[in-house]
Amino acid sequence: MEYPHKKENSDQIIVSVSSLNKWFGDLHVLKDIDLEVVKGERIVIAGPSGSGKSTLIRCINFLEKFQQGEIIVNGVTLTDDHKIIEEVRREVGMVFQGFNLFPHLTILENCTLGQVQGLKLDKEKAKQKAMHFLEKVNIPEQANKYPGQLSGGQQQRVAIARSLCMNPDVMLFDEPTSALDPEMVKEVLDIMVDLAKEGMTMLCVTHEMGFAKEVADRVIFMDKGQIVEQNEPVEFFNNPQHERTKLFLKQIL
Amino acid sequence: MLTHLTGNLDIWMLGFRNTVSLTVLSFIIAFVVAIPMGVARSHTGTLLSKIIYGYIYVVRGTPLLVQIFLIYYGFGQFHSELKDVGLWWFFREGYYCGLLALTLNSIAYQAEIVRGAVMAIPHSLEEAGASVSLSRMKIYRFIHIPIATARMMPALGNEFVLLLKASSLVSVISVEDVLGQARYLFSETLDLSVFYVAAINYLIIVLVAEAVMRRLEARNTWLAFK
């Protein structure tokens, strides 16, 4: 499928990570990470497990604390002040590997809780918006069911709708298809492709290289807490520079 | 057996009322206190959690009957001091002492139930709440509390029934509960069948309590899907 890899509009930097360092106890999991994400850019982060890719995107909405460095989201510098954290989280949506839907709330309520309690939106408006996004992910008919009644693929699509309801400027995907049965991967990826084509700024940790080839503007390869290599997808896949990248691509492609 | 019931209906009614009010009141007061205690206890490693554990250890590790005696006779030793501070009316009455003992006892058990239910909630749901911009307080209110409440229903129902039967111990400090009235009638008539009547009283309360619990549990339909 043909799709322009460079966004035509501004070079407005929406996420800026500089000299980020993080330790889990003695383990140095992120080493001097520098990353700038331009509005509308779609980035795929790949790498072996334990390379720090999930930790990196979890730092962006402060689900993980970091010890050194700076992260700026939409002009707001992250600190551990909870007001700032909540402000940043309003602008950054997150989709988890394990869906993490609220089991005691219906699909519709899952999508409205954040809007009503986090964004202080009116209940009716929140419902309308929730239905709009549930239609977008093709499951409006499940609105009154509970997460436990849905398949994994459906649950992950709800999780995407739940995030979109917050009108985020950036979406983070943390291995969104890794916990799914193979036949459900496509229905989730299709939604993500649609989102990408609408110009959503996305950072996806994923092993779906087909997705990377189709929509990514940039592929980042991480290993042992460092960004080893980054490039646009065609170059990344056809002409990897680093030995570690070549080995990785050989194993997964 | 029937004549014991029909001839002393007012005595049995008083006993029934006292048993129900003792159990229900102590259960509800203990529940209200146990929620913050159980939540605090779930943050293991904090000083507060350790203090609460100390309380739970002492209460669960000693017989309820001992606790009842300590409150009723123990405080009785200080009756002049209690009169001075205006609390004697409370500790003079077996009913209030029994209520206090049952409440303090049930707090310990219910706090552990709350702790277990709160700790069983996966951290990933907190992260999901955080990612849709909920504050810590709102994550507690809209995620932890409703999920924990639903999950602890069966354990709470169990605790209620245990508390009901434990409440019969207060008959030894002159409370006119079901067993207290049965013991009084037995001493009057020397007919063992009064204890069958007493047993039936407890069974009726359990029947109602179980019906209420079933209704409350049925409200959480989502539990069936997990």
Q: How does pLDDT run across A203-233, given as a tens digit for each residue?
A: 999 989 999 999 999 999 999 999 999 999 9
Q: How confident is the model at residue B1 (pLDDT cuts 50, 70, 90)?
A: low
Distance (Å, whole) CA B223 – CA A148: 9
Q: What average pLDDT does the segment A183-203 reach?
A: 93
> Rounded to a whole number, what is the distance in Å from the CA of A146 to chain B's nearest CA?
6
Cα distances (Å, whole numbers) of residue B32 to B36, B47, B64, B104:
8, 22, 20, 12
Q: What is the ipTM of this complex?
A: 0.88
Predicted confidence at residue B13, as pLDDT, reads 94
- Average per-residue pLDDT for chain A: 91
Distance from CA of B142 to the nearest CA of A (A): 8
More confident residue, B218 or A7: B218
Q: What is the pLDDT of residues B157-169, one digit of tens each?
A: 999 999 999 999 9
With 50 as the cut, is the pLDDT of residue A112 above it?
yes
**pLDDT score recorded for residue B79:** 85
What's the average model confidence in pLDDT over A102-124?
Answer: 94
Q: Is A47 on the interface with B (CB under 8 A)?
A: no
Spatial contact of A216 and A173, defined as CB atoms under 8 Å apart: no
pLDDT at A6: 40
In A75-94, the residues whose Cβ lies within 8 Å of chain B are 82, 86, 89-90, 92-94
- The answer, for B133 touching chain A at a CB cutoff of 8 Å, is yes
> Can you tell me the distance from the alpha carbon of A37 to that of A201, in angstroms, rounded to the nearest whole number?
8
Instruction: Flag whether pLDDT at A126 surpasses 90.
Output: yes
How far apart CA A149 and CA B87 sit, in angstroms, is 56
CA atoms within 13 A on the CB side of A188: 29
Residues of B in contact with A149 (CB under 8 A): 225
How far is B145 from chain A, CA to nearest CA, in Å? 11
Question: Do the Cβ atoms of A117 and B125 come within 8 Å?
Answer: no
Percent of chain B with pLDDT over 70: 98
Q: Does B6 touch chain A (CB under 8 A)?
A: no
Quick one: pLDDT at residue B183? 94
Structure tokens at B160: 């209620």
Cut 0.90: pTM above it:
no
